[in-house]
């Protein structure tokens, strides 16, 4: 008895497909003669198609979402990435876009998940970085690792030459916009100083409270710790206030 067997890529047995006995009168049962050969070819094509589908399935989409502060919400980005068909979404919360992308824990995790033929997807270009140098470095890294990049809002897809061009242009615009914001902020601070406006956090103690604390401590009616408890501030705040008023 001879048996024709066929295994798939995972080592699972498809067969036996056919069996036959050797002998001078059993030639018509030979599996490599007649219609059975077509049947065997069909099964082999089925295995090859299955292998092709497995390869296509291994091409993953990794979504990456980021917000700069803990108070901001990631829901909008996560919803867009989910609609884009991402197999997995990695997030960074409380991570500034000015920080290098590869220094963020969430982005590093996303990069570790990416393999050749995979794609990283973001909601907007500035989610990965605002520096043109950082963005160009990331693009080169993606190319070296055969990883594709897609930005949903900006319409960037590096699978095309046009997408790579837009990636560079949008990176330059993002850096330009950040520079404009910084310039406006500095100009606003200078204008506020000229108007005599105090910048930063308001003082914890008023001038009258500082004068009262200084008089009480100088007359030894209260200690620094005691005045801090009365005024509801830290001991170091009293010490700084007394040092400033001295």
Catalytic member of 68, 96, 131, 245: 68
| Packing angle of the helix pair 132-144, 161-194 (nearest 10 deg) | 160
151, burial (CB in 10 Å: exposed 0-12, middle 13-18, buried 19+): buried
Nearest Cα residue to 244 out of 209, 216, 219: 209
Is 68 one of the catalytic residues? yes
Catalytic residues: 68
């Amino acid at each position: 008895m001879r048996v024709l067997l066929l295994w798939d890529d995972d080592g699972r047995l498809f067969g036996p497909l056919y069996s036959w006995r050797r002998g001078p009168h059993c030639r018509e049962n030979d599996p490599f003669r007649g219609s059975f050969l077509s049947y065997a070819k069909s099964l082999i094509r089925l295995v090859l198609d299955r292998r092709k589908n497995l390869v296509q399935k291994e091409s993953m989409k990794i979504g990456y979402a980021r917000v700069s502060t803990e108070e901001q919400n990631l829901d909008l980005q996560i919803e867009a990435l989910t609609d884009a068909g991402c197999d997995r979404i990695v997030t960074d919360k409380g991570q500034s876009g000015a920080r290098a992308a590869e220094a963020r824990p969430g982005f590093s995790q996303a990069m570790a998940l990416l393999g050749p033929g995979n794609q990283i997807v973001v909601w907007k270009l500035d989610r990965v970085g605002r520096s043109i140098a950082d963005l160009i470095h990331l693009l080169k890294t993606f190319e070296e690792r055969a990883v594709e990049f897609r930005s949903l809002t900006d319409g960037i897809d590096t699978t095309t030459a046009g997408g790579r061009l837009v990636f560079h242009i949008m990176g330059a615009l993002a850096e330009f916009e950040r520079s404009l914001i910084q310039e406006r902020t500095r100009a606003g601070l200078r204008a506020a100083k000229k108007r005599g406006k105090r910048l930063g956090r308001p003082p914890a103690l008023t001038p009258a409270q500082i004068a009262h604390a200084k008089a009480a401590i100088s007359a030894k009616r209260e200690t620094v710790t005691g005045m801090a408890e009365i005024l509801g501030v830290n001991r170091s705040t009293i010490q700084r206030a007394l040092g400033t008023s001295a």
